[in-house]
Amino acid sequence: MAMVSAPPACCGPPRVSGILYASSAEAGSSSSSSSSNSSASCVNVLRLNDGCVASSNIRIGVGRLKCSARSNSGGFDTLFSSFWVEGTTSGPAGSGVGGLSGAAAALEASSVAIHTNGGYGSRGGAAAEVAACSSSGETTVVPVTQLSEEEVENAREWAHKPRRIALFVEPSPFAYVSGYKNRYQNFIRYLRELGDEVLVVTTHVGVPAEFYGAKVIGSWSLPCPWYKTVPLSLALSPRIYREVANFKPDIIHASSPGIMVFGALAIAKLLSVPVVMAYHTHVPMYIPKYTFSWLVKPMWLIIKFLHRAADLTLVMSHALGKEMRAAGASTAEKIRIWRKGVDSDSFHPRFKSQEMRNRLTDGVPDTPLIVHVGRLGAEKNLDFLKKVMERIPEVRLAFVGDGPYRPDLEEMFQGMNVMFTGMLQGEELSQAYASGDIFITPSESETLGFVVLEAMASGVSVVAARAGGIPDIVNQDGETGFLYTPGDLDDCLRKITALLESSDLRQKIGAAGRAEVEKFDWRASTRQVRNEQYSAAIWFWRRRKEQLANRFSGWFKRPELA
């Protein structure tokens, strides 16, 4: 049994120098590893202000350990994958990732992401070392087999019990075609599959009465003045408030930024419910394209106001998480990654179609074909593709999708080998992906880039700008896809030309990309959010209530925590 000393307890919350979370394993799911004597793992530990520590085990690497304090009151049980530690951070130069030293031994395990005050990243290793946790006294690391079954089961039950979740999503995931449409539709579907009650509040156009058993409420909306196809709604009418109050949610989850997120925040505060904000659209990057650049700073002030008031912020990529933290929109401990997901059955190489290729190449199927799928908006940097086509005019380019920038693009590409298909859905969309030789996206503002995931699932070689959340997807440049320096035409053309000149390279890159995205599915992504990240938000919310109660304890009687 390992023993480490910890600093004395203080009246405030613990200092957090780093948060480790396992992105590839569900808490408590390692059955094959528990019999290994030589392997080790880490555990989640949360310190409460009264000195008690609540903890739970997760699988990291090939084994498990349990970390707990001598006084574990059971005041809070959780199953979210975070490791809180006192100490300093250090790491290899240029790695962007901090190791952990000081009060804790370094933790190195395969498939572990490390999020420190210095940045995000991933770090590999054969097996976990000893993990140390801070508490009000000595901290022990003991094998999971020494824990009572009741203790483990109580923690698991707390995280996995059915919940009542109110989703505020703007614009509608049922009517507005965007990157997060599939995310929210699948999220609702698998929350219901996990046994949760779900209430969806969204903009009013095209709203179904229910979706996979979740009740859907439409809130009257108006088009955004600068982007007419995006409806906005405050969702703070007495009707909406009554519906949410009667639903009695355990947690409110709101998409951000927008107008509806203000309504969601107000209702959460009125009902005293934890609120999670998922940051999907990086509006500060869009503002110069549609309106005045001087509005960027006020927009950041709005974002900071919203997310500082939230109990947890979900972001779509490590890069966006770093930017949100650097801007002061949230603290490192309250920013989490919403794991990517893709429907690898609906997007698959088997949908390759000669008929679709004829359509996309305007009847010349033997011509090399580059495909772009997505909303046609000025913020997508699509005029960069005109420079590409001017250098390789013999290639065909197909734009699949629609948007406000389409008329400008049609005029821009007039007389060139370019096809505009408009909006495609269902099997036609799957065929369009799979029938191209190369998928390209020059966008530098993607918070994630679902179209890149779908293209990789379709077995098509991807060429994309090294920006936003895309490097999180094409995480092995030159193996699962190609990334080029944003704005660097020569770099982009080198990668396109290499693929066009070698069918073997296209096949190799396409197969590797397909293999990479097969690791992700919507069910696992949803489970991580509701089991781990919602649990984290609830704990932060409780901690905030306790801090407020302590601050004003002389004014009124301290309320019991919910």
Residues of the chain with pLDDT > 70, as a percent, come to: 68
Task: Give the pLDDT confidence of 535-557 residue by residue, as tens digits.
Answer: 889 989 988 888 888 877 656 55
Q: Identify any residues that bridge with 419 across adjacent strands, giving them in sequence order.
A: 398
Q: Are 265 and 275 in contact (CB under 8 A)?
A: yes
Whether 12 shows a pLDDT value over 80: the answer reads no
Q: Are 45 and 133 in contact (CB under 8 A)?
A: yes
CA-angle at 267, arms to 265 and 270, nearest 5°: 110
State residue 178's pLDDT score.
Answer: 65
Task: Give the pLDDT confidence of 508-535 residue by residue, as tens digits.
Answer: 999 999 999 888 888 888 988 998 899 8
Q: Give the dihedral of Cα atoms 224, 373, 358, 386; nearest 10 deg.
A: 90
Whether 413 shows a pLDDT value over 60: the answer reads yes
Q: Which residues contact 522 (CB under 8 A, 6 or more apart)?
A: 183, 186, 187, 189, 190, 341, 342, 343
Task: Give the pLDDT confidence of 66-103 residue by residue, as tens digits.
Answer: 333 222 222 222 222 333 222 222 332 222 222 222 22
- Alpha carbon 132 to chain centroid, angstroms: 28
Task: At 369, give phi and psi (nearest 5°).
Answer: -125, 120
Whether 225 shows a pLDDT value over 90: the answer reads no
Specify burial of residue 480 (Cβ count, 10 A radius: 0-12, 13-18, 19+).
buried
State residue 229's pLDDT score.
Answer: 67
Task: Give the pLDDT confidence of 318-373 residue by residue, as tens digits.
Answer: 888 888 999 999 988 899 989 888 888 899 999 999 999 999 999 999 999 999 99
DSSP collapsed to 3 states, 527-552: HHHHHHHHHHHHHHHHHHHHHHHHHC
Q: Which amino acid is at 557?
A: K
Q: Which residues contact 236 (CB under 8 A, 6 or more apart)?
A: 262, 263, 266, 267
State residue 287's pLDDT score.
Answer: 72
* Lowest-pLDDT choice from 173-177, 186-190, 238-242, 279-283: 173-177
Specify burial of residue 504 (Cβ count, 10 A radius: 0-12, 13-18, 19+).
exposed
Token pair of 16, please? Answer: 């957090």
Name the band, by pLDDT with cuts 50, 70 and 90, for residue 157. Answer: low
* Lowest-pLDDT choice from 132-146, 368-382, 385-399: 132-146
Span 177-187, mean pLDDT? 81
Q: Are 315 and 472 in contact (CB under 8 A)?
A: no
Token pair 């900071």 in the structure block, residue: 304
Whether 281 shows a pLDDT value over 90: the answer reads no
Whether 414 shows a pLDDT value over 60: the answer reads yes
Q: Are 205 and 175 in contact (CB under 8 A)?
A: yes
What number of other Cβ atoms are within 10 A of residue 169's Cβ?
Answer: 30
Specify burial of residue 501 (Cβ count, 10 A radius: 0-12, 13-18, 19+).
exposed
Span 474-502, mean pLDDT? 94
Span 4-19, mean pLDDT? 30
Q: Are 188 and 211 in contact (CB under 8 A)?
A: yes
